[in-house]
């Protein structure tokens, strides 16, 4: 069905893959894994025939459908005037079946709704529904469970496990279709390869862990041997013997196994935030309605310097409205937000609307932070933007890479309040860890929305603003149970 032979591809001088070979047979379920920016989404685009410039052969028989993690431009959606026409253009299904599918995907929209007015996450779910109704021979899915709670994620993964065709899926939730997977393809950026692991996702994690342990052990032994050789070299007095030993040391250094990035320690130093008063922000009797529907009512709270506040509630409960009012992007119908004169806010949202997609990573960082290139390259390296990666344009980055860059920009500034709206949506485990370590180092005040339990727990909030109650409370671990509600 799919046969990839000797595939090589890269951006500029940086190869994503070199000489890659793998096969996917009819009906196989395949997980595709790798760090953010390793080329997972690009590989799906190559298979779909949407990316040029590669060498090697990609042979595909049968029909194929690709659902990307972000719907930037969909001609079919642009043509459709209502949801029903987009999801089922050939009108093969009854309304009740379409509604059942949309309910499973946690998409609460009417079939006569205009799809072009939906949010980014809703459009992605709609594109997934369309692809599932098409039943292609090969289904390519890029993070299909983003924007879903646990029930929705389980529904999607169970559906894919029972799907008759072949599936290649990128997901942070592969463990949910563990036993249904036939193999895992793992992209390794440090050697531009795609490694194949036959078996379930559990088999992959076990084999990968064993391999990483072997790599660490080999690196430790060889490094110790080199250290002893260096000590012998320093104590030698004979010039010819020293020259021979130096050449031997250099040869052995070249044979050292490269440690994958996920095995390296992460340490990020951040600038000290600007000084701000004891009450950076105060909301007084805030109310907001849309078309007669009350979203926020008589909200009253103060943000104290140094607070870490988790905003918790289901989508549509008013979290984004509250954030936009706090930022001054939206005016309340009643009440006011009092901001300290020295308040400096850094804001992250999933839309990346402040970025110029034609500029490079380095240009963007320097522009927003007013830092020089030397500082920028060192700081960006901590967020996995090293070497030629800093010269990539923003438009060529994956969703996770854009998130990493956004957080890098925010934390390199001296903002004394960070407001972060779903910073973990597009992130793999390593990227989550990098951003978490950066935020744990941050000494200012923080307001965060996240549906990732471990992320919120490790940030150690001292308060929570909870919906639908619409009130501020002291933090209690019991609120972690509500973090994943979507």
Using one digit for the tens of pLDDT, what is the confidence trace for 202-231?
A: 888 888 888 777 777 776 776 676 777 677
Residue 310's pLDDT band, with cuts at 50, 70 and 90, is very high
Burial profile 113-132: b = 16 or more Cβ within 10 angstroms, e = fewer: eebeebeebbbbbbbbbbbb
Give the DSSP letter of residue 306: T
Instruction: For 349-436, list the strands marked E by DSSP.
Output: 417-421
Domain coordinates in residue numbering, the chain: 2-205, 206-263, 281-356+392-483
Query: Are the CB atoms for 276 and 340 separated by under 8 Å?
Result: yes
Half-sphere exposure of 75 (CA within 13 A, CB side): 0
Q: Tell me, what's the pLDDT at 263?
A: 46
Q: Tell me, what's the pLDDT at 486?
A: 66
For 221-227, which contacts have Cβ atoms below 8 Å and span 24 or more sequence positions? Answer: 222/252, 222/255, 222/256, 222/257, 223/256, 225/252, 226/252, 226/253, 226/256
d(C-alpha 135, C-alpha 436), whole Å: 39
Label residue 414 exposed, middle or buried (CB < 10 Å: 0-12, 13-18, 19+).
middle
Q: At residue 244, does pLDDT exceed 80? A: no
Instruction: For 353-444, list the strands marked E by DSSP.
Output: 417-421
Query: Are the CB atoms for 37 and 400 separated by under 8 Å?
Result: yes
Q: Tell me, what's the pLDDT at 255?
A: 62
> To the nearest whole percent, how much of the chain has pLDDT over 70?
90
Query: Are the CB atoms for 480 and 447 separated by under 8 Å?
Result: no
Among residues 390, 423, 392, 393, the alpha carbon closest in space to that of 406 is found at 423
Residue 327's pLDDT band, with cuts at 50, 70 and 90, is very high
Q: Tell me, what's the pLDDT at 253?
A: 64
* H/E stretch holding 85: helix 83-87
Of residues 216 and 164, the one with the higher pLDDT is 164
Residue 450's pLDDT band, with cuts at 50, 70 and 90, is confident
Q: At residue 262, does pLDDT exceed 60? A: no
Among residues 186, 161, 184, 172, the alpha carbon closest in space to that of 40 is found at 186
Q: At residue 371, does pLDDT exceed 70? A: yes
d(C-alpha 228, C-alpha 140), whole Å: 51
- In the numeric block, the tokens 């459709």 are attached to 80
pTM for the structure as a whole:
0.65
- Number of residues written out for the chain: 486
- In the numeric block, the tokens 């149970």 are attached to 481
Q: At residue 75, does pLDDT exceed 80? A: yes
Among residues 381, 418, 383, the alpha carbon closest in space to that of 280 is found at 418
Topology match between the domains 2-205 and 281-356+392-483: yes
d(C-alpha 197, C-alpha 202), whole Å: 11
Residue 389's pLDDT band, with cuts at 50, 70 and 90, is confident
Q: At residue 167, does pLDDT exceed 90? A: yes
Query: Are the CB atoms for 486 and 152 separated by under 8 Å?
Result: yes
The per-residue pLDDT for range 412-440, each reduced to its tens digit, is: 998 999 999 888 877 777 778 788 888 88
Q: Tell me, what's the pLDDT at 261?
A: 53
Write the class of the CATH domain 2-205. alpha beta
Q: Tell me, what's the pLDDT at 43?
A: 92
Q: What is the CA radius of gyration of the chain?
A: 25
Superfamily in which the 281-356+392-483 domain is placed by CATH: P-loop containing nucleotide triphosphate hydrolases (3.40.50.300)
- Rounded to whole angstroms, what are the CA distances from 258 to 209, 217, 221, 302? 16, 12, 13, 49
The residue-averaged pLDDT of 82-111 equals 90
The residue-averaged pLDDT of 19-39 equals 90
d(C-alpha 211, C-alpha 219), whole Å: 12
Among residues 138, 69, 130, 65, the alpha carbon closest in space to that of 98 is found at 130
Among residues 104, 86, 96, the alpha carbon closest in space to that of 148 is found at 104
The residue-averaged pLDDT of 18-23 equals 92
Half-sphere exposure of 230 (CA within 13 A, CB side): 9
The residue-averaged pLDDT of 470-483 equals 92
Most confident of 89-98, 241-250, 314-323: 89-98
Mean pLDDT, the chain, whole residue set? 85
d(C-alpha 431, C-alpha 303), whole Å: 29
The residue-averaged pLDDT of 323-336 equals 93
């Amino acid at each position: 069905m799919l046969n990839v032979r000797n595939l090589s591809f890269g951006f500029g001088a940086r190869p994503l893959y070199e000489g890659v070979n793998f096969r996917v047979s009819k009906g196989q379920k395949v997980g595709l894994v790798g760090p953010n920016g390793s080329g997972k989404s690009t590989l799906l685009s190559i298979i779909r025939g949407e990316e040029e410039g590669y060498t090697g052969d990609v042979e595909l028989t049968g029909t194929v459908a690709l659902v990307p993690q972000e719907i930037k431009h969909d001609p079919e959606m642009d043509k459709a005037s209502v949801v029903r026409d987009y999801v089922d253009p050939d009108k093969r299904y009854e309304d009740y079946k379409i509604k059942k599918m949309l309910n499973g995907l946690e998409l609460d929209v009417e079939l006569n709704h205009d799809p072009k007015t939906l949010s980014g996450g809703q459009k992605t779910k709609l594109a997934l529904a369309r692809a599932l109704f098409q039943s292609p021979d090969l289904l390519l899915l890029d993070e299909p469970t983003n924007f879903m709670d646990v029930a929705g994620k389980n529904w999607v993964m169970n559906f894919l496990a029972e799907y008759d065709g072949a599936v290649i899926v990128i997901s942070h939730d592969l463990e949910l279709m563990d036993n249904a997977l036939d193999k895992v393809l793992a992209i390794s950026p440090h050697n531009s390869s795609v490694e194949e692991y036959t078996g379930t996702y559990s088999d992959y994690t076990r084999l990968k862990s064993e391999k990483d342990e072997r790599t660490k052990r080999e690196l430790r032994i060889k490094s110790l041997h080199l250290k002893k050789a260096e000590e012998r070299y320093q104590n030698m007095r004979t010039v010819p013997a020293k020259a021979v030993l130096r050449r031997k040391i250099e040869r052995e250094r070249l044979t050292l196994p490269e440690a994958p990035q996920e095995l390296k320690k992460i340490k990020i130093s951040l600038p000290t935030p600007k000084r701000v008063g004891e009450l950076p922000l105060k909301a007084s009797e805030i109310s907001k309605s849309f078309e007669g529907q009350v979203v926020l009512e008589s909200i009253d709270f103060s943000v104290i310097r140094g607070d870490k506040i988790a905003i918790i509630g289901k989508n549509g409960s008013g979290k984004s409205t509250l954030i936009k009012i706090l930022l001054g992007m939206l005016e309340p119908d009643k009440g006011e937000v009092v901001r300290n004169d020295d308040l400096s806010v850094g804001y992250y949202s999933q839309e990346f609307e402040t970025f110029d997609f034609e500029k490079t990573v380095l240009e963007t960082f320097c522009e927003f932070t007013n830092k020089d290139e030397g500082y920028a390259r060192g700081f960006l390296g901590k967020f996995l933007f090293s070497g030629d990666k800093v010269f990539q344009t923003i438009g060529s980055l994956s969703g996770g890479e854009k998130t990493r860059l956004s957080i890098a920009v925010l934390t390199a500034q001296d903002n004394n309040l960070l407001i972060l709206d779903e910073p973990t949506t597009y992130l793999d485990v390593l990227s989550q860890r990098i951003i978490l370590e950066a935020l744990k180092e941050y000494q200012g005040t923080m307001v965060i929305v996240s549906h990732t339990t471990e992320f919120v727990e490790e940030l150690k909030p001292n308060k929570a603003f909870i919906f639908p109650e619409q009130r501020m409370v002291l933090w209690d671990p019991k609120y972690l149970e509500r973090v994943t509600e979507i």
